[in-house]
Amino acid sequence: MAEQKNRVIAFNITLSRFDQVYGQARSNRLFFHALALSLSLLIFGSAQGQSVTPVLENSAQAEDARVVYDEAYFLEFNALTAEDLLNRIPGIQDILRDAQSATASFATARRGFGSTGDQILIDGRRLSGKSNTIASALRRIQSSQVLRVEVIRGATADLDVRTEGVVVNIVLKESLAADTGTWEGSISHYSDGQVQPGAQLSYSGETESFGYTLGLSAKPRNSFLDRFDLLSRPGDIPFLREDEEQKTNATDLAATLNLRYTFDDGDHLNFNGRYADEGRTETIESIQFALAPGNELFTGTFFNLRKVANTNWEIGADYEHRFTDGDTLKTLLLFNSSSEKDERSFSFIPPKAQKNVFRFQSQAPNRTELIVRGSYKFILTPQHSLDFEAEGAINKLDQLVQLSTVNKGVLEDIPLFNPDARVDERRTETFTKYTWQPTSALQMEAAVDTEYSRLRQRGSDVNRTRSFFFLRPRLDVRFDYTDLIQFRGRIERTVSQLNFANFVSGFSTDDNTTDVVKAGNPGLVPQKAWEYDLTLERRLANDQGVWALRLFYFDIEDHIHKIPVGDGTVAATGNIGSAREIGAELSTGFRLSWLGLQGGSIDAAYTLRGTSTTDAFTGQKRIIHGLIDRFWSMSFRNDTSWHNLSYGFATEGFGGNNISGPLFFFDVDFEDRIKRRFDINGFVEVRVLGSMTVRFDVTRAIRPNAIRGRQTFAGSRGSGTVLSEEFRKGTFSRELKLSLRGSF
C-alpha cells in the first residue's frame, strides 16, 4: 500500500499552474529559439551552398523545383509496388507516413476536396476518391507501372493541389508490356495470444488506350491493452484499484477498381470504385478492488461490450482535356456513402452474484456525399498562368441516438436532447489562382477562395436553417536562393470543416466503464484562422539528403472545443473564442554512404510548439486540448545487395521529459496529463526466390506503456473542487507479423 501511495502522490498533477506558465512564457521562448536556429542555419547554408551545383547520383536529376528519380535509380531495389519505391527516397518519409496513417473513415469525414489535399499525386492529379485513399492506391500500383517519381519543392503551376511543403508526384507509363499482378499473404500474432491472417491481391492490365487495376484486401486490425488504475482522494492513499483488459477484433475487407482510358487526342478519363466492410468488436473487462490500509476487497467486475457494423462504398471519376495552346480542363465527380451502427452494453457482476446489465446505448449515423468539381487552367505566357475552379457538394447526415437503462429489471429509455437528426448541407466553392514566375529563382502564387453554404437541420428538437459565406485569400512564395537552398512562405486564411456529428447528441467515449452523454450544438460555427508559414530548405549535394526548418504561427478565431450546457455539468462541442499556436519544426533525411552504408538512410523530425486559449469552464488561459508541445520521430532503413536484404526501424515519442512533451486533455469535469514511452517498429525483408520476398515486422517491440494522471472535479472544472485523483498505467500489445509476397 505504501508503494501505491507513493506512486500516486509522485504523479499528482497541478495543471492550472502548469498552464499559466506554459501558455504565456513558453510560447515566446519557443519563437525566439526557433528564430535563432533559423538564422544560424541560414548563415551556414549560405556559406556552404552558394557555389555548389547539384550532381545527383543514382540516376536522380534536378529539374527546377523538382528532383526526379527515374527507373534506373530503383533498379537495385527489390520493389514490387509504388509504396516500395517511395520508401527508398530519403526526406519524404513523413509524407508517406501521414498518407499511411490516414484512414478511410477519416478521409470521408472531411467535407469536399477543397484546394488542398494529399501531398502524393499520380500523374500530377489527386486520386478521385476519399475512402479510396492514396496510401491504398500506392500498394496497388506496381513498380513496373512507374516511369519516374518527382519530388516537387513548393508551389508549381501544373500541380492539381496546393501545398506549402513538398509534393511527391508518381508518373506512370503510358502502357505496360504485359498484364501483371502482386500478392501478399500474412499471419499476425498479438501479445494476448490472438493470431489472425491477412491477404492482399492486385492485378493490372493495359492495352494501347485502356488500363485497369483490381485490388482485394483482408487487413487484420486487432489490438490488446492491459492497464490498472488507482483512485485516491486529494492528498490521501488510494481507495480503489481497477485492473482492465481491452481487446479489439477486426478484419477490414475491401475491394477496389481503377479504370483509365486515353483518347486519341490525348484526353484522360479515370474511374475509381471501392466497397469496404470495416466492422469491429471491442470488449473491456474491469475488475475492481476496494483498498483499505493492509487490505483489499474484490467488489465486482464491469463489462463493456461494443459492436460496430460499418460498410461504405464510393465511386469517383475524373476527366482531363489539354488544349493545343496549353490550357487544361479538368472535371471530377465523386459519390460516397457510409452506414454505421455502434451498439454498447454495460454490465456488472457483484461478488458471488449474477451478471447485471444496467445500460444500453446506440448510435446509427448514415452519411452520403456528392461532389462535382471543375477547373480550367489558362497558360497566359510561360511566366503567367491563371486557374479557375468551382466545386459543388451535397452532404447529408441521418443519425439516431438511443440510451436505455435497466431499472428493477425493466428497460427504460432515457430522453436525450435532439436524439434524431437529419443534417443537409449544400455548398458551393470557387477557387481562383494566379501564378507568376518573374525569374527562374522566384515564383509567386496568389489565390482567393470563396465558400457559400446552406445548412439545414431537422429533428424532434431542432428545426433550423443557417447560411455561411467565407472569403479565403492565400499567398505562396518560393525563392531559390541557390541551387540547393530554397525559401518558402505562406499566408492563408483558413476555415475549418464542421463535423455534423457535433450538431446532435452522442456519447463521449473517454473512459471504459460508462460513456458520458454529450449534448449536440446546432449553433456551432466553423473555426477560422490566419496561418503564417516560413520554411528554409537545404538540400545536400549529390542527392545525399535534405533538411528543412519550418516556422509557423496560427491566429485562431472561434476555436472549437467543449463548452458548458445547462447547469454546467454537461458539455457540448462549441466555439470558445480565440486561440494561438506558434512553433518550429525541423525535419531531415540523409543517406549514410559516408558511414559505409551505401543503401542506408535516416529520416528524422522534431517539433516545438506553444499554444494558448481560454477555457470555457474556468475562464483561465490554458494550452490547446490534445496538442503536444514537443514531439519527435525518426526512421532508419538500409537496403543491401545480398538477396535484396533490407532492414530498418521507425520510432516516435512524447513523454513529458526534456525532449518530448506530455499530452493534455480537458473535459467538463476532468483534466488529463498523459506520458508515453516511445515506440519502436522494426522490419527485415529478404528475397528468397525470383521476386518473392519474406518480410518480418514487429510493431511496438518494447511494449511501451502510457501513464495518465487525472483530476476529477465536483460538478465541473469551474468549481475548482477536486473529488479524486487517478493514476493509470497501461501497456500496449506487441504485434509480430510474418508475410510473404511476390508478383505474377
Of 34-38, 187-191, 254-258, 618-622, which range is least confident?
A: 34-38
Of 27-41, 127-141, 250-264, 443-457, which range is least confident?
A: 27-41
Per the structure block, which three cell numbers stand in for 49? 551552398
- Digit-coded pLDDT (tens) for 284-294: 999 999 998 88
Sequence length of the chain is: 744
Q: Which residue has the cell 506530455?
A: 662
Flag whether pLDDT at 576 surpasses 60: yes
91: Cβ–Cβ under 8 A, 6 or more apart, which residues?
A: 151, 166, 545, 546, 587, 588, 589, 590, 603
Helix (H) or strand (E) holding 376: strand 356-381
Flag whether pLDDT at 566 surpasses 90: no
pLDDT band for position 571 (cuts 50, 70, 90)? confident
Which architecture does CATH list for 2-743?
Answer: Beta Barrel (2.40)
CB 575 within 8 A of CB 558: yes
Mean pLDDT across 639-653? 89
Mean pLDDT (the chain, rounded): 84
The pTM of this model reads: 0.82
Integer Cα distance of 453 and 394 in angstroms: 10
Per the structure block, which three cell numbers stand in for 635? 526512421
Per the structure block, which three cell numbers stand in for 267? 484526353
- pLDDT at residue 177 in the model: 60
87 — phi, psi (to 5°)? -65, -20
pLDDT band for position 176 (cuts 50, 70, 90)? low
**97, 323, 402 from 342: Cα distances, Å:** 29, 50, 11
Residues of the chain with pLDDT > 90: what percent?
A: 49
Integer Cα distance of 363 and 340 in angstroms: 8
Flag whether pLDDT at 71 surpasses 80: yes
Mean pLDDT across 203-214? 86
- pLDDT at residue 724 in the model: 92
626: Cβ–Cβ under 8 A, 6 or more apart, which residues?
A: 663, 664, 665
CB 161 within 8 A of CB 121: yes
Mean pLDDT across 485-507? 87
**314, 474, 508, 547, 703 from 681: Cα distances, Å:** 32, 39, 31, 23, 10
pLDDT band for position 24 (cuts 50, 70, 90)? very low
Domain-by-domain residue ranges, the chain? 2-743
Of 117-126, 189-198, 234-243, 316-325, which range is least confident?
A: 117-126
- pLDDT at residue 406 in the model: 87
Q: CB-hemisphere CA count at 13 Å for 641?
A: 4
- Digit-coded pLDDT (tens) for 368-413: 999 999 999 888 888 899 999 999 999 999 989 899 998 877 889 8
- Digit-coded pLDDT (tens) for 347-377: 999 998 888 888 999 999 999 999 999 999 8
- pLDDT at residue 352 in the model: 85
Q: Comparing 601 with 65, which gets the higher pLDDT?
A: 601
Mean pLDDT across 309-317? 94
Per the structure block, which three cell numbers stand in for 494? 483558413
Flag whether pLDDT at 38 surpasses 90: no
657 burial via Cβ count (<10 Å: 0-12, 13-18, 19+): exposed
